Homo-oligomer: A and B are copies of this chain.
């Protein structure tokens, strides 16, 4: 449903001359992205740029020439993982059982978080400058809305479930994952199972209102600022 363009090499604007990179440059770029995938996946987004360069076998300066800020590297690495995230909704929507599709999707997404600690961070952050990444997130969001709608229509999902509850679950799961780490690598499954069972009808009681969309967005936007160093505000 969503167009997947070529790697779009330089990323220069439409039509104009994309200056062809030298072969070693392109090779190193690939190595860097692969290394970053490994390191961020293992250590989360606060892995250092130096560790990525070491893993890639390139100098630090090389890394920064290809990706002038850490955020740009993060975005480059996780844009296509976000693609998989968006595709997971397609797969879930293909499930003939709406409830099974809905719960399977949630489990898949949480499993992605467990398998990639960097991605776990990404899912609770927003990068307003990264158009394609955010576009994929929006795709996924839309798909999830449809999943919700179908699951509610089938009568198996509580009527008071909202898309914000997925965000909250992702935040909760991220907390469990980073707290347990390698010591209890499957603990998250139990938490997610508790939550999913609670989403199921019949409702067992009222719930506090979910946060506003704008509030969640604001929280995710703030979180993304932790990736780069300088915290922009200085209280007092």
Q: Which residues of A approach B to under 8 Å, CB–CB?
A: 124, 165, 168-169, 171-176, 178-181, 183-184, 186-187, 189-191, 193-195, 197-200, 203-205, 207-212, 215-216, 218-220, 222-223
The answer to whether A186 touches B208, judged by C-beta atoms less than 8 angstroms apart, is: yes
The answer to whether B193 touches A195, judged by C-beta atoms less than 8 angstroms apart, is: no
The answer to whether A222 touches B187, judged by C-beta atoms less than 8 angstroms apart, is: no
Q: Which of B179, B198, B199 contacts A124 (CB 8 A)?
A: B179
The answer to whether B172 touches A176, judged by C-beta atoms less than 8 angstroms apart, is: yes
Given A172-B175, A219-B184, A199–B194 Cβ distance below 8 Å? yes
The answer to whether B195 touches A211, judged by C-beta atoms less than 8 angstroms apart, is: no
Given A124-B179, A211-B184, A215-B183, A190–B173 Cβ distance below 8 Å? no
The answer to whether B181 touches A222, judged by C-beta atoms less than 8 angstroms apart, is: yes
The answer to whether A179 touches B211, judged by C-beta atoms less than 8 angstroms apart, is: no
User: Residues of B contacting A173 with CB < 8 Å?
Assistant: 172, 175
The answer to whether A186 touches B198, judged by C-beta atoms less than 8 angstroms apart, is: no
Q: Which of B165, B181, B215, B219 contacts A190 (CB 8 A)?
A: B165
The distance in angstroms between the C-alpha atoms of A204 and B200, with both chains bound, is 9
A-B contact pairs, 14 of them (CB 8 A): A165-B190, A168-B190, A171-B179, A172-B176, A174-B179, A180-B215, A183-B211, A183-B215, A183-B222, A184-B212, A184-B218, A193-B205, A194-B199, A197-B204
The answer to whether A194 touches B207, judged by C-beta atoms less than 8 angstroms apart, is: yes
Q: Find the B residue at minimum CB distance from A51.
A: B235
User: Residues of B contacting A179 with CB < 8 Å?
Assistant: 124, 171, 174-175, 219-220, 223
User: Residues of B contacting A187 with CB < 8 Å?
Assistant: 168, 210-211, 215-216
